[in-house]
Every structure is written in structure tokens, then in C-alpha cells.
Amino acid sequence: MKRRILSLGFIVVLILALLTVGIAFREGYFERKTSLLHETIDTYGAYQYREVSPMYLVAADLSEIASIQKWVNPAAEKAIGSLNYEEYFVIAVFQGRKPTGGYKIEIIHVAQYQDQVEIKVRFTEPKPGQGVTMERTSPSHIVKVKKIGMPQRGRLLFIFLDDVGGQELACQEHIIP
């Protein structure tokens, strides 16, 4: 009798576990994020960006690139302007005005899950006693991201995250045609 009750209990637990896993699969809990291929356009620095706070931008076509081009050096401006926007879109991050050299901002990962694109950003500051340039800097990182391989296009939510603690830095909707 005890065996029968234990067997029945085991079967009930097994059925509940299978139902839970089935619901999780249906809802997409086990879907993986798709890493999006990206390549650096420029890390030279945003010599025109004089704000103190960071800025995060996305440009998906020629009509939107002015929001990025006005902040960058001439070589990056040319690269952004000549990009094939049928194949790529641009993500730019600006760390903001810094009192010395030794600061850096870097896009380290771009991934998509359904209608969300996560951009992991790494901030670097000079270490105490580290030799740095004694002039103001404005670190930036601009990447082009391949549209081919994106699981979804259209209206997407771009979420910029700090790579260390995962804190949300910025969030914006953007249309990727």
C-alpha cells in the first residue's frame, strides 16, 4: 500500500514537472539570446561631445546618422555616412567629458531576444597613480551591427546595460527596417 501511494505521488510530481517545463518552453523561457555581429567603427573619442553625462544612440538609416555624426571626428563621420544601412545599423556610446585621459567606454556585447536588444557597455577609469594624459577627454565607442541574422526587426527596445552589475543605463525604442 505504501509503495502504491509513493508511486502515485511520484507520478503526480513527474506530471507537474513536465507541465511546468512545457509551459516554460511555450512561453519562451528557454529561448536563448542571439548574439549580433558587430564591428568597431571608431573609438578615437567624441571630440565634439562636451556633456558630462553619458549618451547612448542608435541610427538605422541615413536620416538618423546626424545625431551621431555631429559628435565624432571626421574619419568616424565619413565611415558612418558611407555605411550600407541595408545591411547594418549603428550603435554609439559616449562616456561624457572626463578631466584626464585613462577613461574608456566600450560596447562589449550586443544580443537580441525577441523584440529586445541588449547592449553591454564597459566603463574603464584610470587606476590611482596611473600615468594619464592631462587634458580633457570624451571617450566613445561606435559599432556597426549586422542586420542579417537578427531574429526580429521592426520596433525594438534597445537596453544599454553596465557589464559589471547589469544595471540599466538607458532604454529606448527604435525601428530597425
Ordered by start, the domain boundaries in the chain are 1-30, 33-176
pLDDT band at 147 (very low <50, low <70, confident <90, very high): very high
R_g over Cα of the chain: 23
Instruction: Please name the residues in contact with 151: beta carbons below 8 A apart, sequence gap of 6 or more.
Output: 34, 112, 113, 114
Q: Which residues make Cβ contacts (< 8 Å) with residue 34, sequence separation at least 6?
A: 111, 112, 113, 149, 150, 151
State residue 131's pLDDT score: 87
Asked whether the whole model's pTM tops 0.75, one would answer yes
| Mean pLDDT score, 83-87 | 96
pLDDT at residue 177 above 70? yes
pLDDT band, residue 49 (cuts 50/70/90):
confident
Residue range 88-114: mean pLDDT, rounded? 95
* Cβ–Cβ under 8 Å, residues 68 and 142: yes
- Asked whether residue 29 carries a pLDDT value surpassing 60, the answer given is no
Instruction: Examine the pLDDT at 33 and tell me if it is beyond 60.
Output: yes
What are the tens digits of pLDDT across the range 53-78? Answer: 999 999 999 899 988 988 888 899 99
Q: 66 to each of 46, 79, 103, 154, how far by Cα in Å? A: 14, 13, 25, 21
Calpha distance 70→168 (Å, rounded)? 26
Q: Is the pLDDT of residue 18 over 70?
A: no
Q: How much of the chain, in percent, has pLDDT values that exceed 70?
A: 81
* Res. 111: pLDDT tops 90: yes
Largest Cα separation within the chain, whole Å, is 83
- The three cell numbers locating residue 136: 580633457
